[in-house]
Amino acid sequence: DAGVTQSPTHLIKTRGQQVTLRCSPKSGHDTVSWYQQALGQGPQFIFQYYEEEERQRGNFPDRFSGHQFPNYSSELNVNALLLGDSALYLCASSLARGGYTFGSGTRLTVV
């Protein structure tokens, strides 16, 4: 049973560019949340998707947007990248309001 799968594992982008990160939830899970983890910090909640809609959002600017597809997979898009967007981006899936399973993350470096 595959857990949460994220792609790519690493990528490097230039300031001002746009990036799309992808997440496939654990089998049977229908809810996907995204977190940003800066070096040496705990994860920070970006937003959560359920039934293809954004259900809750954290304190992140509109440059951060997302999407959930009918198969429950999800994308995180970040526009106009800043150096400060460099972080590990974690996807977590759950069943409705159940416990969360995290993926291994995508390490984004903005140069």
Partner 1 sequence: GQQLNQSPQSMFIQEGEDVSMNCTSSSIFNTWLWYKQDPGEGPVLLIALYKAGELTSNGRLTAQFGITRKDSFLNISASIPSDVGIYFCAGQLGGGSEKLVFGKGTKLTVNP
Q: Where along the sequence are the contacts to partner 1 (CB under 8 A)?
A: 4, 31, 33, 35, 40-45, 48, 55-56, 58-59, 90, 92, 97, 99-105
Amino acid making up residue 102 = F
Nearest CB to partner 1, comparing residues 67 and 95: 95
Task: Give the shortest CB-15-to-partner 1 separation in angstroms.
Answer: 25
From CA 8, how far away is CA 22, in angstroms rounded? 7
Nearest CB to partner 1, comparing residues 17 and 104: 104
Task: Give the shortest CB-62-to-partner 1 separation in angstroms.
Answer: 18
Task: Give the shortest CB-109-to-partner 1 separation in angstroms.
Answer: 14
Longest dimension (CA), the chain: 38
Containing H/E element for 99? Answer: none
Nearest CB to partner 1, comparing residues 14 and 62: 62
Please give the structure tokens belonging to residue 82.
Answer: 């800043």
Of 24, 5, 11, nearest to 88 (Cα)? 11
Task: Give the shortest CB-36-to-partner 1 separation in angstroms.
Answer: 11
- Cis check for the bond before 61: say yes or no (omega within 30 of 0): no
Phi then psi dihedrals of residue 54, to 5 deg: -75, 115
Nearest CB to partner 1, comparing residues 78 and 91: 91
